[in-house]
Amino acid sequence: MVSFKKPDLDSFQERIHIATLFVTFCFLLLITRLVWLQLVSHGKYALLAESNRIALVPAPANRGLLIDRNGIVIGRNYSALTLDVNAEEVKGNVDQLINDLSEIIAISPRDRRNFKRSLEDSRNMGTFPLRSMLNETETARFMANRYRFPGVEIRARSFREYPYNELASHLIGYIGRVSQRDKERMQAEIEGAKADDPDALQASFLPGIQYVGKIGLEQSYETVLRGVPGYDQVEITAGGKPVRTLSSAPSVPGKNVVLSVDIKLQYLVEQLYGNFRGAFVAIEPETGDVLAFVSKPNFNPNDFVEGIDSVTWKELNDSPQKPLYNRPLKGIYPPGSTYKPFMALAALENKKRTPSQSISDPGYFDFGNHTFRDDKKGGHGIVDMQKSIVESCDTYYYMLARDMGVNMMHDFMKPLGFGQITGIDLQGEARGVLPSTEWKKNTFKKPEQQKWYEGETISLGIGQGYNAFTILQLAHAMANVANNGIVMKPHLVKAIEDPFTRNRVLTTPKESYRIDLNAENIEVIKKAMLEVNISGTSAAAFKGTGYQVGGKTGTAQVFSLNSKEYKHGSTAEFLRDHALYIAFAPAEKPTIVIAMVVENAGFGAQYAAPIARKALDFYIEGKWPKEIPEWKRAP
Amino acid sequence: MEKSPLIKVKGFFFGIFAGLDRQLGLILLGLAAVGFFTFLSASQNTPVQIADELRNLALSFVVMWLVSRIPPKWLEMGAVWIYGFGVALLIAVAAFGLIKKGARRWLNIGIVIQPSEIMKIAMPLMLAWYFQKREGIQKSWDYGVAAIILAIPVFLIARQPDLGTALLVFAAGMYVIILAGLPWKWILPFVGLGVIGILLIIIFGGTICAHDVVWPFVHDYQKHRICTLLDPTSDPLGKGFHTIQSMIAIGSGGFFGKGWFQGTQAHLEFIPEKHTDFVFAVFSEEFGLLGNLVLLALFFALIKRGLTISASAPNLFTRLLGAAVTLIFFTYAFVNIGMVSGLLPVVGVPLPFISYGGTALVTLGFGAGILMSIHRHRRLVQS
């Protein structure tokens, strides 16, 4: 027995020794690993631990204000309490959290959608508003239940607000949350800026930029309005919860933008349009200041700031009225008879007509085997230049167009700005079409389409045919004539204001160029246009003005916007003619010119001229029409 | 002469500790102290109760004390029953266990239990009993029987699936089999194959971890764990996050550590499971390499002492059981530290006596109790 046990114990003890060796080996392995981590790589990991725990928390900059030419604020910020949720805390059970919260605080489906979208966009990092503008009761109720919602807190945030809602929406535009595309674009901008200016580095703190101008002035003056976001260096947990602030760099608020627009005039015109669609641009000819820039119908930019809800968006987008369409900037219309004063000036400058030279108008004009009709049956009789404008005689301009030819017209109209980008400080301006033989050759593909037919020239004389311009271009051309050929770039913003010192830096562009026009010729045209409002087509609308005003009506056949077909029952309405009107006043030294269109309204004299009259009465004499609700400053 | 009250108290005090191995007791007290101080730091800002931890530690020592009173003979007699009971529970789990997170590991018998835990002790008990029974008449096929005893529960646990526990139970059984005298010519080829396999994985890690490569016999998540170990940066926000963050914690601790309560990684919540499986990262960050060397020394002393007790144990059953229990402690410590320091894949193994968690502490106390009992009863059997 004993002899049996003895070797067994030996062999066991031998194996215990081997096990001890094995254990020792494994422990040495661990020690090696720990020495590697804690001595050899200590520097690297210490650095990693440091960068781990420090995060830059953006401190957004206050956005600059939008102020009209008389100091009325039309784009501002306000501070409101917001329910903020830390994305890391709610991973996975967003709906549950929102359901629980909605027992205390009203949370609309829209809030829910917007919040979830922010979460998705952000890849679950950072803090996002779930509900804004909490009232006192809601705040108190949440604070009482706060313990139930880790990661949810109430914070004061700055929000963009357009106090007049729809007013001037197309020119103001709106801001919205930064999208991935915005980020990439800004990154490129910043890198470009850095190459020129090493100090631009600070502006590169992109995460601090949460909102960006999407359209309108908010977009085109984005870099001015935005300011430079600051940041706090904060010690954070892995979940992104801040523990304490280590240091901070203050933000630099954006600058205020002072508009050349008179917002009261803008308001009046928008009211005057009522339910009509259309565009209206008023310019101060001497400076190029745009005084009003109306697009009707409009939309409420406040709806877009925190992300528009899909129902409102669908409504706006699908409406046949196209409320999102910036008509003065992008809508192109044939100018119709408003083109005639410019044609007459072209005739004088090119010596194709003298003011007294007359034609006999039988009511039609035959060219080739086509008959071009006048709108007055039986014709206007003997017609000189002034009468051709006052009575809007088509035949006079059919003949003039034939005598000038398409290229002479083009060459005269081009410097006036027709069919050209005006360079206004908004993005997305339409160019329109100022036809010429070259234009046709470049535009069409097939050789037979590229050829210019003489017959196509005739209707150009009355502002039809291929002619297609924006209302902005029409106003710009009117301003250039009213300003005796000195071309001022139209602009919506006059100055940039420092938010602290209130110092203003003018941004108004200097004169662009000068068109060599004969002053006498301009006088002829202006005089004829004054007569239009005394005895001509729009005399009724301008009866009894206390100032002298020149104008010209126009009626344009419809090329509907975007040439999209309307499906609704109102098709007939959408086929009605557009009513146009241009004007300048006062005659001696114009301080305002107007170009406008009332879509599908019918005759220009009947629908457009009365609006222009009231706008001018207000701008020149300060008269406010009785039927329009009074202007009230936003609280 | 009447004994003074002081002497009485002293006598009682020594009475309850009589026969306990003083060395082992001091080592365990040392580990428990390290565990408690680390726990205090790790539990900051978390709702884990200090009272809970103290109660668990106390419970662990009470269990150890109780088990140390049990004669090894009783354990020997109960081995088959405990093993049989454990296997029955595992079968019950396979038949109608609870499914959580895609695994069927739990059994609801009024309270929810995890039967695979029982196997960690039942397996070495059973195999030690078997080899004790075959002592002196041992044949080659005894290893075959042992392999079957080992394979049944390991198979049942592995298909729950719970590969980590299966490997631990397998290791516990293998320690007994190897110590019982499994011929070297049978062991060495496997060791060789293992080494070659590990080398291959390290060398060809990039290729076999490619997305479309399917590994035989393992789940996707297991492949993922191994691949993450080979390159933690491949999934920095997912599975690799834990490893990367705990490596940063350990590495940034340096030689002296950041000091008690000063670990930024731990206190800023970068370390997952910081009171339980990853508690070593917290300790390591705050006490540095110096602290780690002390901790490793404690563990090494624990293992050395356990093996010494086993080597002088009176019969084969106690020798095998004691050594196996000691090597389980070793395995826990090695796998845990290896995993937290990025040397081994992440498997749920606690650091003995340091990690928070009642079940683990009680199991470990039970194991320590076995060692105490073996030590305490050595002379009684021999004489």
Angle subtended at Cα A54 by Cα A57 and Cα A176, rounded to the nearest 5 degrees? 20
The C-alpha of B67 sits at a distance from chain A's nearest C-alpha, in angstroms, of 24
The beta-carbon neighbor of A49 closest among B265, B304, B310 is B265
Rounded-to-integer distance, Cα A28 and Cα B63, Å: 32
pLDDT at residue B113 tops 80: no
B248 vs A52: CB contact, 8 Å cut-off? yes
Q: What is the mean pLDDT of residues A578-603?
A: 92
Looking at residue A144, its amino acid is: A
3-class secondary-structure state, position A86: strand
Question: Which of A121-130, A255-264, B251-260 is predicted least confidently?
Answer: A121-130
Catalytic residue list contains A337: yes
Angle between helix B316-340 and helix B279-311 axes, rounded to 10 deg? 160
Q: Is B380 helix (H, G, I), strand (E, B) or coil?
A: helix
Round the average pLDDT of chain B to a whole number and report it.
83
Q: What is the mean pLDDT of residues A360-368?
A: 90
Q: Show residues of chain A in contact with B251, CB under 8 Å.
A: 37-38, 41-42, 44-46, 48-49
Parallel, antiparallel or unpaired: strands A73-86 and A211-215? unpaired
The rounded distance, in Å, linking the Cα atoms of A591 and A585 is: 6
B52 — pLDDT class (breaks 50, 70, 90) = confident
Cβ contact A33–B299 (<8 Å) = no
Nearest Cα to Cα of residue B271 among A626, A218, A239, A126: A239
For residues A602-625, average pLDDT: 90
Question: Distance between terminal CA atoms of chain A?
Answer: 108
Whether A455 has a pLDDT exceeding 60, the answer reads: yes
Name the residue among B45, B264, B266 with its Cα closest to residue A235. B264
Residue A147 DSSP symbol: G
Q: Would you say A132 and A155 are in contact if contact means Cβ atoms under 8 Å apart?
A: no
Give the torsion sign (CA, B116, B118, B124, B126).
Answer: negative
Three-state DSSP class for A143?
helix
Q: Cis peptide leading into A335, omega within 30 of 0?
A: no
Element of type H or E holding A80: strand A73-86
Name the band, by pLDDT with cuts 50, 70 and 90, for residue A617. Answer: very high
- Residue B234 has what pLDDT? 55
- Mean pLDDT of the A5-24 span: 80
Helix/strand/coil (H/E/C) assignment for every residue in B27-90: HHHHHHHHHHHHHHHHCCCCCCCHHHHHHHHHHHHHHHHHHHHCCHHHHHHHHHHHHHHHHHHH
DSSP codes joined into one string, A570-623:
THHHHHSPEEEEEEEESSSS-SEEEEEEETT---HHHHTHHHHHHHHIIIII--
- pLDDT, residue B147, reads 92
Q: Which residue of B has its CA nearest to A31?
A: B293
Range of lowest pLDDT (A250-254, A438-442, A568-572, B23-27): A568-572
Please report, for residues A266, A270, A277, A543, A608, the alpha-carbon distance to residue A274 in angstroms, rounded to integers and kept in the order given: 13, 7, 8, 22, 12
Give the per-residue pLDDT at A205.
60
Average pLDDT, chain A: 86
CB B138 within 8 A of CB B181: yes
Q: How confident is the model at residue A567 (pLDDT cuts 50, 70, 90)?
A: very low
Q: Which of A35-49, A81-95, A385-399 has the lowest mean pLDDT?
A: A81-95
Most confident of A51-60, A562-571, A603-612, B297-306: B297-306
Six-digit token pair at B124? 């070495």
pLDDT on residue A568? 43
Cα separation of A419 and A481, whole Å? 16
Q: Measure CB to CB from residue B341 to each of A12, A34, A237 and give the nearest one.
A: A34
Q: Which residues of chain B are within 8 Å of residue A236 when distances are taken between CB atoms?
A: 268
Q: What ranges in chain B are assigned the alpha helix state H? A: 5-17, 22-42, 50-69, 72-96, 116-133, 140-158, 163-179, 184-208, 220-230, 239-253, 264-267, 279-311, 316-340, 358-376, 378-382
Tell whether the model's pLDDT for residue B153 goes beyond 50.
yes
Token pair 């084969």 is at which residue? B316
Alpha carbon separation from B103 to A416, B94, B97, B100, B159 (Å, rounded): 80, 10, 9, 5, 9
Q: State the pLDDT at residue A4.
A: 39
Q: Do A52 and B251 touch (CB under 8 A)?
A: no
More confident residue, B374 or A89: B374
Contact A15 B179 (CB under 8 A): yes
CA dihedral B25, B30, B32, B36 (to 10 degrees): 160
Per-residue model confidence (pLDDT) at position A129? 79
Is residue A198's pLDDT more than 50? Answer: no
Rounded to whole angstroms, the Cα distance separating B143 from A403 reads 117
Whether B135 contacts chain A with CB within 8 A: yes
The type of residue at B75 is L
Q: Which tokens belong to A17? A: 């020794």
Which of A246-255, B42-51, B301-310 has the largest mean confidence?
Answer: B301-310
**How close B270 comes to chain A (CA, Å)?**
5
Q: Could you tell me if A48 and A34 are in contact, meaning their C-beta atoms sit under 8 angstroms apart?
A: no
Amino acid present at A450: Q
- For A38, the closest of B255, B311, B323 (CB atoms) is B255
Q: Test A46 with B251 for CB contact under 8 angstroms.
A: yes
Q: Which one, of A629, A628, A633, lies nearest residue A613 by Cα?
A: A628
Q: Which residue has the tokens 């004994």?
A: B3
Are the beta carbons of B169 and B151 closer than 8 angstroms? no
Whether residue A193 is predicted with pLDDT greater than 70 in this model: the reply is: no
Backbone angles phi, psi at A609, to 5 degrees: -55, -40
Task: Inspect the interface and report whether the beta carbons of A39 and B255 lie closer than 8 Å.
Answer: yes
- Residue A17, min C-alpha distance to chain B (Å): 9
> Maximum CA pair distance of chain A?
149
Determine what percent of chain B is predicted with pLDDT higher than 90.
Answer: 33
Contacts 24+ apart (CB under 8 A), A132-136: A132/A80, A132/A81, A132/A82, A132/A83, A132/A157, A132/A159, A132/A306, A133/A80, A133/A81, A133/A82, A133/A159, A134/A80, A134/A81, A134/A82, A134/A83, A134/A105
CA atoms of A369 and A367, how far apart (whole Å): 6
- pLDDT of amino acid A180: 74
Q: pLDDT tier at B164 (50, 70, 90 boundaries)? A: confident
**Short-list B198, B200, B209, B211, CA closest to B231:** B209
User: B253 touching A, CB under 8 A?
Assistant: yes
Q: Is the pTM of this model over 0.80?
A: no
Q: Which residue has the higher pLDDT, B158 or A407?
A: A407
Question: What is the predicted pLDDT for the residue at A610?
Answer: 94
Which is more confident, A123 or A601?
Answer: A601
Q: Which entry of A118, A337, A436, A538 is annotated as an active-site residue?
A: A337
Rounded distance, CA A129 to CA A140, Å?
18
Chain A residue with minimum CA distance to B319: A12
